[in-house]
Structure 1
Amino acid sequence: MKELFIKYINRECSEEEIQQIVSYFQHSDDFSEVPTIEAISQLLEDFPDMDEDSVSLIRSNILKIARDEKAVKIKRRRITFMFYAAAVFVGVVAMTYVFKESLFNPNSMKESVVESSQTIPGTDKATLTLEDGSQIALEKNKNFKTQNAVSNGETIVYTNSDKNKTAIVYNTLTIPRGGQFYVELSDGTKVWLNSASQLKYPVTFGDDKPRSVELLYGEAYFEVSPSSKHNGQGFSVFTASQEVKVLGTEFNIKAYSDEDYVYTTLVNGSIALNVENQTRELLPKQQSIHSSKYNVLKVVEADVYSEISWKNGLFSFKSKSLKEIMTVLSRWYDIDVIFEIKEPEKIMFNGVLKKNLSLEQMLEIINRTNLINAYEIENNTITIK
């Protein structure tokens, strides 16, 4: 299959080989052997723009996959829109024009969208709250600078110039719905913050002081500066219900206040999780699932690629219900979601899509499964029918 994908990217597939790819997506429940989007992205990084004939050929192949959709409609009630994977892996780096007129032809759509304007995806933005309570809006093309931090509106980077100060000064970074942001802490730790998240951290840590930050709510990916660079001082991340202790590693924490479970996913290194007098150590590619409400703490094998795809500009939905997907989209596009009937909430999907698609493009892909009757977008609210 990998060889076929590479041939497809290079426009060398015969009609029979294209049908093999289509058949693979139609008849497979497990897509773990499919080359990852990240791997295919690497192949495409230096890929030149296609000429119009090639674009038309790719588009017609994608439409052919879409037409075959009905042959794969229900398999264990798991509706897979992986038939769009061809569109995604061809377009994931620079070829988003695959999603243009033909794929989203208004004449072929259901009459389901009320507003004609496109709902744009989220962007880099945040609100920085200083120790004195003053707030600064961080957004593109807006520079900001203090003695310890500099921001270009899309990132903020701290330095450790005040490491000898005895008093610890805290900043808080708040990411709204429809936003994301990157912060580099004074110790060199890198943090990517997802939509609807808030992080509290010291402006400087100090050489001989414990390093700790607090994820007040939301989701964050941490690339921690190792303790060997900080006189052996470890690093801790606190949430409302747990503490994660690390020496130097990469991990993701998802702890939204409107969700019952906290998910901690280890990418590499090792971490110790402290929850209600229990300690669990995680190995790479493991995930802890914790809920104080349901008194649950367990460790499972994680699909790391899917868990951290948000940081890399992708939505990776693997066996996710429509309700879970709409929760993710509501944060990214800053919209509310109403299910007019409950049945569609439980429909399961698989798929990988770029975060820079408009909301309408996202919804139309889901709508093409034919398992929802229609949807409406009005007054910044989506109604699923």
Structure 2
Amino acid sequence: MTPKIEKIIVKYITKSATSTDLDILSEWIETPANEKLFKAYVQTHYAVIYSINDPDSSRVLDRLLKEIKRDKPLFHRFYRTTAFKYVAAAVLVGIFAVAYTIRRDLFNSQTSSDQNKVSDVKNNIVPGTDKATLTLQDGSQIALEKGNEVKTQNAISNGEEIVYKGNKTKPKDIAYNYLTIPRGGQFFIKLSDGTQVWLNSESQLKYPVAFVEGETRKVELVYGEAYFEVSPSTLHKGAKFQVYNKSQKVEVIGTEFNIKAYRDESEIYTTLVKGVVAISTSSGNKILAPNQQSKLNLTNNTLAISQVNVDTETSWRRGLFSFKDKSLKEIMKVLARWYDVQVVFENKSLESLKFKGNLNKNQSIEEILSIMKSSTINNYEITDKTIIIR
């Protein structure tokens, strides 16, 4: 299966597929071998969301296939009519309603007692949202959150992102700002050179409010996780872009990559999506190619390179948790940051259990735990902002 087909399947399931996507997907599925690949892919990558382990999973998958094949002629039939633009929205609503019904059937594989238990749980745990704290060069701090517009001498924020002004003049002194994302938060920043950065929960970025034209552009990921889409050096008189964090330096010319360097983890992961980056550490240098990931072990200072699925590694930026053979302990660490909770394993043997699948970051914590309860954990309890896994 090609990466293109995988992306279209994800887009269909997440309700963002276009008519062109449906053309490609429905024609691809016509081949029996591809239909088998489709079923295997959904069972492997969406087992968590859909509870595919249910005995009736084959029935649900067959139904999903039929709906995909039916959606294509619906699009084309309406497209040939002059009223297409007025009914297209209605067609999409119908298709998405079908998708919702399929999801409902899959979730209904859980027992009614489980559903009642989840609905009865009362807590103040909510999914993360766009929020951050901006620290200016004089040390003053400004809260950035939805509905709160902020203007500084160098930037403007609508509460969901902050954008810095481009500056072609050479500043007298380089001034730095910090953007700190708390647990339960995320934020987008556009630096003065046009570089775009998406910051995950519990992260902090240090950066100049303006870069010196022609000189190397330097920022520091103090901790946490960030996805960088770097403005090419060709637009900045050949100036390279460098990201410092803990024990490594990442140097790029113009590219897209992800760095994960949390304070409570002993490894730093750098994943390259596009372009080329050079990783420098005290133990040596490495060059990354697209779809490669470096892992710097902070304990013994070793640097290893491996091939990875970049879509899985950067899914958080698209509003998804994508887990592939991750331990329950690792998964709970990710969820704890996003939902700003503490997780306690009453049954320590569960920490090492492997989990696979995708979850929507906007789902409630009860929904996610209920899905896990159907396949992995025995039980759970929520007390205030603490989750106890049994």
Q: Please state which band the TM-score falls in when normalised by the shorter chain.
A: 0.7 to 0.9
- 2:378 aligned counterpart, secondary structure: coil
Q: Are 1:314 and 1:355, in contact at CA under 8 Å, matched by a contact in 2?
A: yes
1:345 corresponds to which residue? 351
2:379 corresponds to which residue? 374
Amino acid at match of 1:116: K
Amino acid at match of 2:313: E
Amino acid at match of 1:373: N
How many residues are paired up? Answer: 333
In the alignment, the residues of structure 2 paired with residue 367 and residue 171 of structure 1 have an alpha-carbon distance, to the nearest angstrom, of 43
Task: Name the TM-score, length of structure 2 as normaliser.
Answer: 0.76
- 2:94 aligned counterpart, secondary structure: coil
2:183 corresponds to which residue? 177
Cα offset for 1:120? 1.6
1:48 corresponds to which residue? 92
Q: CA 1:187 to 1:117, structure 2 compared with 1: closer, same or farther past 3 Å?
A: same
Amino acid at match of 1:240: K
Q: Are 1:261 and 1:289, in contact at CA under 8 Å, matched by a contact in 2?
A: yes
In the alignment, the residues of structure 1 paired with residue 196 and residue 367 of structure 2 have an alpha-carbon distance, to the nearest angstrom, of 32
Further displaced range: 155-164 or 118-127: 155-164
List per-residue Cα deviations over 1:28-79 (Å, max 9, x = no partner). 6999xxxxxxxx9xx999762238984685256425xx74xxxxxxxxxxxx
Q: CA 1:241 to 1:344, structure 2 compared with 1: closer, same or farther past 3 Å?
A: same
- 1:319 aligned counterpart, secondary structure: strand
Q: CA 1:172 to 1:162, structure 2 compared with 1: closer, same or farther past 3 Å?
A: farther
Amino acid at match of 2:339: Y
In the alignment, the residues of structure 1 paired with residue 211 and residue 284 of structure 2 have an alpha-carbon distance, to the nearest angstrom, of 27
Q: CA 1:53 to 1:137, structure 2 compared with 1: closer, same or farther past 3 Å?
A: closer
1:226 aligns with 2:232: yes
Cα offset for 1:219? 0.1
List per-residue Cα deviations over 1:148-186 (Å, max 9, x = no partner). 100001100001337321200000000000000000000
- 1:161 aligned counterpart, secondary structure: coil
Q: Are 1:265 and 1:304, in contact at CA under 8 Å, matched by a contact in 2?
A: yes
Matches within 5 A, 1:124-163: 124-161=130-167, 163=169
1:107 corresponds to which residue? 113
1:207 corresponds to which residue? 213
Cα offset for 1:353? 1.3
- 2:279 aligned counterpart, secondary structure: strand
1:321 aligns with 2:327: yes
Q: Are 1:112 and 1:376, in contact at CA under 8 Å, matched by a contact in 2?
A: no
Q: CA 1:340 to 1:112, structure 2 compared with 1: closer, same or farther past 3 Å?
A: farther
Q: CA 1:168 to 1:106, structure 2 compared with 1: closer, same or farther past 3 Å?
A: farther
In the alignment, the residues of structure 2 paired with residue 29 and residue 58 of structure 1 have an alpha-carbon distance, to the nearest angstrom, of 16
List per-residue Cα deviations over 1:258-315 (Å, max 9, x = no partner). 0000000000100000011511000011000001213321100011011100001111
Amino acid at match of 1:374: N
2:102 corresponds to which residue? 58
- 1:50 aligned counterpart, secondary structure: helix
Amino acid at match of 2:381: E
In the alignment, the residues of structure 1 paired with residue 120 and residue 46 of structure 2 have an alpha-carbon distance, to the nearest angstrom, of 36
Further displaced range: 241-250 or 206-215: 206-215
Over the matched positions of the two proteins, sequence identity in percent amounts to 48
Q: CA 1:55 to 1:276, structure 2 compared with 1: closer, same or farther past 3 Å?
A: closer
1:270 aligns with 2:281: no
In the alignment, the residues of structure 1 paired with residue 191 and residue 274 of structure 2 have an alpha-carbon distance, to the nearest angstrom, of 20
In the alignment, the residues of structure 2 paired with residue 182 and residue 56 of structure 1 have an alpha-carbon distance, to the nearest angstrom, of 30
In the alignment, the residues of structure 1 paired with residue 213 and residue 311 of structure 2 have an alpha-carbon distance, to the nearest angstrom, of 34
Cα offset for 1:24? 3.4
1:356 aligns with 2:362: yes
Amino acid at match of 1:266: L
Q: CA 1:261 to 1:60, structure 2 compared with 1: closer, same or farther past 3 Å?
A: closer
Cα offset for 1:116? 2.2
Cα offset for 1:108? 3.9
Q: Are 2:45 and 2:357, in contact at CA under 8 Å, matched by a contact in 1?
A: no
1:258 corresponds to which residue? 264
| Larger helix proportion of the pair | 2
In the alignment, the residues of structure 2 paired with residue 135 and residue 165 of structure 1 have an alpha-carbon distance, to the nearest angstrom, of 22
Amino acid at match of 1:217: Y
- Uncovered stretches (5+) of structure 2, i.e. residues with no partner: 16-21, 30-34, 48-67, 76-87
In the alignment, the residues of structure 2 paired with residue 334 and residue 155 of structure 1 have an alpha-carbon distance, to the nearest angstrom, of 21
RMSD: 3.6
List per-residue Cα deviations over 1:178-225 (Å, max 9, x = no partner). 000000000000000000000000000021322000000000000001
- Which one of 299, 302, 306 corresponds to residue 296 of structure 1? 302
In the alignment, the residues of structure 1 paired with residue 134 and residue 43 of structure 2 have an alpha-carbon distance, to the nearest angstrom, of 49
In the alignment, the residues of structure 1 paired with residue 211 and residue 100 of structure 2 have an alpha-carbon distance, to the nearest angstrom, of 56
In the alignment, the residues of structure 2 paired with residue 355 and residue 219 of structure 1 have an alpha-carbon distance, to the nearest angstrom, of 16
- 1:177 aligned counterpart, secondary structure: coil
Matches within 5 A, 1:237-256: 237-256=243-262
Q: Are 1:260 and 1:291, in contact at CA under 8 Å, matched by a contact in 2?
A: yes
In the alignment, the residues of structure 1 paired with residue 219 and residue 261 of structure 2 have an alpha-carbon distance, to the nearest angstrom, of 14
Q: CA 1:331 to 1:56, structure 2 compared with 1: closer, same or farther past 3 Å?
A: closer
Task: Name the TM-score, length of structure 1 as normaliser.
Answer: 0.77
